[in-house]
């Protein structure tokens, strides 16, 4: 529909119609079994279903078509309903969780995965996905780290922008694409103590320098929606934060799309003690520019009175309604209100071999090998035992894969039976224990048996018997699906006790021990790294779990994943991240000077740092060589937005060069990472910041020269003058295989 017609439509709508376009209903209003992903129950939802502008939690092509038809027939202006759903890392073909996708250090994996997800979801009637989650995460106690691509702003920006490309394609009108929603704006990952829905107290400097980067890239990529976050930012709940939403998001970042609250977040401003009542909360949210009220009655019950009392300008309302109408129009809903919904197409494309192969490839690339002693991997044993609850556990996706049918997930046992059928390799299987036991509160959903005691005695006996009949044991352990995701903060980030007990009994058998960890977060792995011969983080791998993991264990694919979040020695180190400040008393590498920044009982450093991951080969790297030790800065003064200078082509660059050699006996792929440290700034600077990475695949014995171009833009940060700019001075360049690299060179910006 042309813009003028949209304007005319808006003009013709009653006040009630306009207000209701800003109301989103839970799917249960239309169908009992809809996905429940939030708390608020709405008394009047039933009455509102004739006029509400959107609904979340529904899918199913024919059902959605039926709802849409009824809705439009009853709507005074036949305006189509908008269907939104959380498709975070998979609709039917479920890809590895975003934290695992971050570990691939490969934006193409994220883009291709998002494209598959969009295609399946769109055919299933979905028009908007609440993804990508672009929150920077630094605290493994927060369960939602599983939904983020990790602790680095630069990597997060690349991965989430790639997801937007995959979801939206070149035109959201296209039937195989959906509109993307960047969330949760902003700094939800900074929740104090890793506790969900909690307070965030970070300076504007830290917000701008570290946290906003991850949202900026997917928004610049053209995401059509942004979602507000549950947290307060320095005392102000995001859904009522006019500075954050209008000055930063809309004015500085240039976001012109639809801003939707998180589930109940407008109403929650009352709980926070920010709004006296729902009416005040509605007014604050409108002033902040929140266009859609997700699943509360704040807007539906109060906006009319606010307009009539002159407390809310109708122009503000019209702007919000126009953004919603424009989104519907750009999705083509006025011409085709069903968008991509088609049972026939859905059956034709869903879980296709092509999609499964892409998911399998994503699994392989996301696995992070942390230990591999005595070359125990790739597997070379004829008598193998798989032991642990993840031998047969089908819930290998994340809690946010809400439409996943885990019957489609390939378990470890299924993959091994396929792999070794008819071979001379004997494989035995034992679950060894229940996945969790009574010491794990799984919150609102119990997935697992609760007859723990008798089960575990029997299961352990079987496991110990199987252990005696093999020479290599693969432990398949991990968190429950429900121990990461929303509302799953943990103060103790070890494996479930029942699994730790199993591990300790099996390791006494003295066999070769390979441990796989299914997890949605970094864990305190206790003595597993020391007592296992090999250790691999497999994350929440999704539909092709067993296949992807087996491809790597058998050496068909050499592991290349790199940690997207630091793993701690102890939970007491959290929040833990590589791009930290040096402090005034950095703990020296050697010696134990008392008065330095340290713990008495734990190292400062991560047990396994960001960017770390082994391959099946070994690599050497030469010293970093720079094309110059000086970079002249030319400030051309043109700006893209208030705080970012454009790329000035008069700026010099410096080439950083290394030679990498595969010194092992097998072909492998290494991910070279470029880090930069600004040695002195008008505000203190992190000891390292990732500014680039390149994958290099080398045959055994092969070498390659790898270069990175260092630009002035890479040196910019939020300075004490409240500008995003570089400052003259000394810089260090690091190129290595993880964030702990000390392979450095120095240059000066003048
Ligand atoms: C949830 C989550 C958000 C999700 C929304 C809709 O509470 O915080 O990430 O997209 O509700 O399900």
What is the tens place of the pLDDT at every residue in 267-298? 999 999 999 999 999 999 999 999 999 999 99
Secondary structure letter of residue 714 according to DSSP:
G
User: Which residues 6+ apart lie within 8 Å of 388 measured at CB?
Assistant: 431, 432, 433, 475, 476, 477, 499, 502, 516
Q: How far apart are CA 650 and CA 531, in angstroms?
A: 56
In residues, how long is the chain?
A: 750
Structure tokens at 200: 């965030």
Q: What's the CA-to-centroid distance between 224 and ligand 1, angstroms?
A: 17
Secondary structure letter of residue 567 according to DSSP:
B
Contact (CB, 8 A) for 22 and 293: yes
Structure tokens at 730: 């000394």
Residue 343 CB-density burial (10 A; 0-12 exposed, 13-18 middle, 19+ buried): middle
Instruction: Label the pairing between strands 654-662 and 293-294.
Output: unpaired
Q: How is 167-218 classified by DSSP, letter by letter?
A: HHTT-TTSTT--EEEEEEETTGGG-GGG-TT--B---HHHIIIIISHHHHHH
353-564 CATH pick, 3.30.9.10, 3.40.50.850, 3.40.50.2300, 3.40.50.1700: 3.40.50.1700
Q: Tell me the best of 24, 55, 57, 86 to mutate to test the pocket of ligand 1, counting ligand atoms within 8 Å of each CB and taking the most.
A: 86
Structure tokens at 258: 């639809």
Q: Tell me the best of 26, 27, 38, 403 to mutate to test the pocket of ligand 1, counting ligand atoms within 8 Å of each CB and taking the most.
A: 38
pLDDT of residue 592: 72
pLDDT of residue 594: 87
Stated as kind and residue range, the H or E segment containing 660 is strand 654-662
Q: What's the CA-to-centroid distance between 261 and ligand 1, angstroms?
A: 9
What's the Cα-to-Cα distance from 444 to each of 37, 483, 489, rounded to whole Å? 11, 11, 14
Low-confidence ranges of the chain (pLDDT < 50): 444-445, 638-647
Q: How far apart are CA 435 and CA 504, in angstroms?
A: 15
Structure tokens at 463: 């496991």
Closest ligand 1 atom to the C-alpha of 39?
7
Stated as kind and residue range, the H or E segment containing 658 is strand 654-662
Contact (CB, 8 A) for 105 and 155: yes
pLDDT of residue 440: 66
Mark residue 543 as left, alpha or beta (left: phi above 0; alpha: psi -120 to 50; beta: remaining). alpha
Residue 284 CA from chain centroid, whole number: 29
What residue has token string 């549950």? 230
Q: How far apart are CA 296 and CA 286, in angstroms?
A: 14
CATH 2.60.40.10 assigned to 619-749: yes
- Bridge partner list, 183: 133
Mark residue 485 as left, alpha or beta (left: phi above 0; alpha: psi -120 to 50; beta: remaining). left
pLDDT of residue 541: 98
pLDDT of residue 374: 86
Q: Tell me the best of 263, 268, 398, 402 to mutate to test the pocket of ligand 1, counting ligand atoms within 8 Å of each CB and taking the most.
A: 263
Please confirm, yes or no, whether 262 is among the known catalytic residues: yes
Q: What's the CA-to-centroid distance between 484 and ligand 1, angstroms?
A: 14
Pocket of ligand 1 (CB under 6 A): 37-38, 56, 86, 130, 183, 262-263, 486
Q: What's the CA-to-centroid distance between 56 and ligand 1, angstroms?
A: 10
pLDDT of residue 709: 97
Contact (CB, 8 A) for 177 and 171: yes
Closest ligand 1 atom to the C-alpha of 133?
9
Secondary structure letter of residue 243 according to DSSP:
I
Beta strands in 215-350 (DSSP E): 225-228, 232-233, 236-237, 258-260, 293-294
| Domain span(s) for CATH 2.60.40.10 in the chain | 619-749
CA angle in degrees (0–180, nearest 5) for 37-103-665: 150
What's the Cα-to-Cα distance from 656 to each of 673, 686, 709, 710, rounded to whole Å? 12, 20, 6, 7
**Cis status, amide bond into 632, omega within 30 of 0:** no
| Domain span(s) for CATH 3.40.50.1700 in the chain | 353-564
Q: How far apart are CA 181 and CA 250, in angstroms?
A: 15
pTM summary value: 0.96
Q: What's the CA-to-centroid distance between 397 and ligand 1, angstroms?
A: 17
User: Which residues 6+ apart lie within 8 Å of 347 measured at CB?
Assistant: none
Q: How far apart are CA 640 and CA 643, in angstroms?
A: 8
pLDDT of residue 644: 47
Write out pLDDT tens, residues 650-683.
668 999 999 999 999 999 999 999 999 999 999 9
């Amino acid at each position: 529909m042309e813009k003028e017609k949209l304007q005319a439509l808006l003009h013709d709508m009653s006040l009630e119609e306009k207000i209701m376009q800003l109301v989103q209903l839970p799917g249960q209003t239309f169908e009992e079994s809809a996905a429940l992903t939030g708390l608020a129950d709405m008394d009047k939802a039933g009455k509102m279903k004739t006029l509400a502008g959107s609904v979340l939690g529904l899918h199913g092509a024919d059902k959605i078509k039926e709802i849409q038809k009824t809705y439009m027939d009853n709507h005074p202006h036949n305006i189509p309903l908008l269907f939104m759903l959380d498709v975070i890392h998979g609709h039917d073909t479920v890809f590895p969780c975003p934290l695992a996708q971050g570990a691939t250090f490969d934006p193409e994996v994220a883009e291709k995965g998002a494209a598959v997800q969009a295609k399946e979801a769109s055919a299933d009637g979905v028009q908007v996905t609440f993804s990508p989650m672009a929150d920077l995460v630094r605290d493994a106690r927060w369960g939602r780290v599983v939904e983020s691509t990790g602790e680095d702003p630069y990597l997060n920006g690349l991965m989430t922008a790639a997801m937007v490309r995959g979801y939206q394609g070149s035109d959201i009108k296209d039937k195989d694409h959906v509109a993307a929603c960047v969330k949760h704006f902003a700094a939800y990952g900074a929740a104090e103590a890793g506790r969900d829905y909690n307070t965030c107290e970070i300076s504007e400097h830290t917000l701008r320098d570290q946290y906003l980067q991850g949202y900026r890239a997917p928004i610049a990529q053209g995401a059509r929606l942004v979602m507000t976050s549950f947290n307060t930012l320095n005392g102000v709940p995001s859904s009522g934060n006019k500075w954050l939403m209008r000055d930063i998001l809309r004015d500085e970042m240039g976001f012109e799309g639809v801003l939707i609250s998180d589930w109940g977040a407008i109403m929650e401003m009352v709980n926070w003690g920010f709004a006296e009542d729902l009416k005040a909360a509605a007014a604050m949210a409108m002033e902040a520019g929140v266009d859609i009220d997700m699943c509360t009655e704040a807007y539906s019950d109060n906006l009319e009175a606010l307009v009539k009392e002159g407390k809310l300008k109708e122009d503000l309302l019209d702007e919000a309604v126009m953004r919603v109408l424009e989104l519907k129009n750009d999705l083509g809903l006025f011409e085709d209100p069903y968008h991509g919904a088609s049972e026939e197409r859905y059956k034709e494309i869903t879980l296709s071999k092509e999609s499964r192969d892409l998911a399998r490839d994503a699994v392989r690339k996301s696995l992070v090998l942390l230990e591999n002693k005595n070359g125990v991997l790739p597997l070379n044993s004829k008598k193998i035992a798989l032991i642990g609850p993840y031998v047969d556990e089908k819930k290998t996706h994340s809690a946010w894969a809400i439409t996943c049918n885990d019957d489609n997930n390939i378990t470890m046992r299924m993959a091994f039976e396929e792999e070794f059928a008819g071979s001379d390799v004997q494989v035995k299987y034992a679950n060894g224990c229940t996945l969790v036991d009574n010491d794990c509160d799984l919150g609102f959903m119990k997935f697992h048996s609760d007859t723990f005691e008798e089960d575990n005695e029997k299961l352990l006996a079987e496991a110990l018997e199987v252990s005696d009949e093999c020479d290599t044991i693969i432990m398949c352990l991990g968190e429950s699906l429900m121990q990461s995701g929303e509302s799953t903060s943990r103060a103790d980030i070890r494996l479930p006790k029942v699994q730790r007990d199993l591990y300790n009994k099996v390791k006494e058998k003295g066999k070769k021990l390979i441990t796989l960890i299914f997890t949605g977060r970094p864990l305190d792995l206790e003595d597993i790294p020391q007592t296992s011969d090999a250790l691999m983080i497999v994350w929440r791998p999704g539909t092709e779990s067993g296949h992807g993991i087996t491809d790597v264990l058998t050496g068909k694919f050499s592991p290349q994943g790199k940690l997207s979040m630091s793993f701690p020695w102890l939970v007491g180190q959290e929040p833990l991240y590589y791009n930290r400040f040096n402090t005034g008393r950095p703990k020296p590498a050697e010696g134990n000077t008392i008065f330095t920044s340290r713990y008495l009982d734990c190292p400062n450093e991560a047990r396994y740092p960001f960017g770390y991951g082994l391959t099946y080969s070994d690599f050497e790297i030469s010293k970093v060589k720079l094309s110059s030790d000086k970079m002249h800065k030319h400030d051309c003064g043109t700006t893209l937005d208030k705080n970012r200078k454009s790329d000035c082509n008069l700026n010099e660059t410096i080439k950083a060069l290394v030679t990498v050699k595969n010194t092992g006996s097998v072909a492998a792929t290494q991910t070279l990472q470029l880090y930069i440290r600004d040695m002195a700034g008008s505000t203190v600077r992190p000891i390292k910041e990732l500014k680039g990475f390149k994958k290099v695949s080398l045959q055994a014995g092969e070498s390659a020269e790898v270069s990175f171009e260092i630009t002035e833009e890479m040196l910019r940060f939020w300075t004490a003058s409240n500008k995003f700019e570089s400052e003259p001075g000394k810089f260090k360049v690091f190129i290595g295989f993880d964030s702990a690299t000390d392979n450095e060179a120095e240059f000066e910006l003048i």
